[in-house]
Each structure stands twice: as C-alpha cells, then as structure tokens.
Amino acid sequence: MAAALTKKSLFLVTGPPGVGKTTLIMTLVEALKLSRPNLNVRGFYTREVRRGSERVGFEVVTLDGRTAPLSSISISTPESSGWPTVGKYKVDVSSFESLALPELQVRENTDLFIIDEVGKMELFSSHFFPGVLRVLESNIPVVASIPVPKFGRDIPAVERLRGQPGATIFSLSHSNRDALKEEIYTQLLQALDVSRQ
C-alpha cells in the first residue's frame, strides 16, 4: 500500500467545525466535472439537518443525490435507545452504512473518491474505516475531510490517515479558503493524470 500512495493520491481537508470543509470539497467536485465531463466520481458528503435555525442532525448524501440519516437529536424509538452518541446526537449507524458503504466500493472506472467525512460519527461503523483503507489501496485519488484534534488528541483512525504515505493535509480557515481551493484543484488534476498512466 505504501508504494501505491506515494503519488500524492490522498488529499485531506481539515479545519474547525463550520469553516467550510464540505463546501470546499463540493466546489472542487463541480469544478472538476466542468473541466473533465467524463470524470467518474464516487463517494458521499455529510450535511446538517436544520429545523428553522436549530441544527437537529446530520445526513449522509451520495454524489448522485441520495440521502440517509446519519444522526439526530430527536430520534426516540426503542431501537435507537442503544445507538451510540456524539454530544447530543444519536448516530444511526445502520442508516449510514446502507448508503455510504456501497459508495466505497472500488470499481474499475472510478477516477476519484470523495469521503466527507472521516469523523467520530462515521467511525462508529466497524465497516467504514476498513472500506476507506481499501479505497486507499486502489491508488485512486481521494479527497477526504477530517476533524481537527480535540484537546490535542486525534482519533486513532484519523491519525492513521494523516500518516499515510502520499497524504497531503490542507488546514482550512476562513481567510485561506479560496487560495486552498485553487491549490487542491491543481494538485488533484495532476493526481488524476498520474493515476491514469
């Protein structure tokens, strides 16, 4: 796996919550699709679910627009009583897996994977991180978002991603978003060209 990843094929976007990691990644996907209309991109992103001005949960969204719940503050069914929690959110692991795991299947015609994000909620799935590692072994370029370490401590799976050969980490802030978008876009184009050789 190490040899396969030395070609700068893993692009990790990190930054504090609300800084715009998902927005940046989706802007990159749209720009790549405009410049390369035949590009086959697989993966998913997460987005907030709001009720008025209140955030009540998160959902996972595939790149072709299918959605499934990831977490919620308002679920109270008998089955949800044993669900893992992150803060006030109950995580619906089976719902997440039903949509996200098929998107991590390595297929011959895939050019790029989007994984937004590799975070605490997603990692409650015991199948998720092994799926991420299989994607990395494929040598298909990957753009993923990861959380910043809390209290100086990283999630072990996230720390493992940071240490991957061929990983480039981009720390996003409100002031550098536009410049980083251009930098990642340029490097992604190069990675896509290399992966097709």
> How does pLDDT run along the chain (197 residues), one tens digit per residue?
344 444 568 999 999 988 999 999 999 999 999 999 999 999 999 999 999 999 999 999 999 999 999 999 987 776 777 898 999 999 999 999 999 999 999 998 999 999 999 999 999 999 999 999 999 999 899 999 999 988 778 899 999 999 998 899 999 999 999 899 999 999 999 998 876 65
Q: How would you class 42 by CB atoms within 10 Å of its CB: exposed for 0-12, middle for 13-18, buried for 19 or more?
A: buried
Alpha-carbon distance of 138 to 92, in angstroms, equals: 28
* Residue type at 176 in one-letter notation: N
pLDDT at 194: 73
Strand 142-146 with 10-14, pairing: parallel
Tell me the CA distances in angstroms from 149 to 38, 60, 162, 194, one per residue in order.
37, 22, 11, 31
Alpha-carbon distance of 148 to 162, in angstroms, equals: 11
pLDDT at 195: 67
Where do the domains of the chain lie? 4-45+103-195
pLDDT at 150: 82
Contacts of 44 (CB under 8 A, 6+ apart): 60, 61, 62, 63, 99, 100, 103, 114, 115, 116
Q: Which fold has domain 4-45+103-195?
A: Rossmann fold (3.40.50)
- Model-wide pTM > 0.75: yes
Q: Give, to the nearest 10 degrees, the angle between helix 21-35 and helix 177-195.
A: 50
pLDDT at 193: 84
Alpha-carbon distance of 89 to 25, in angstroms, equals: 24
Other residues' Cβ atoms within 10 Å of the Cβ of residue 18: 8
pLDDT at 18: 87
Pick the closest to residue 195 from 142, 118, 144 (CA basis). 142
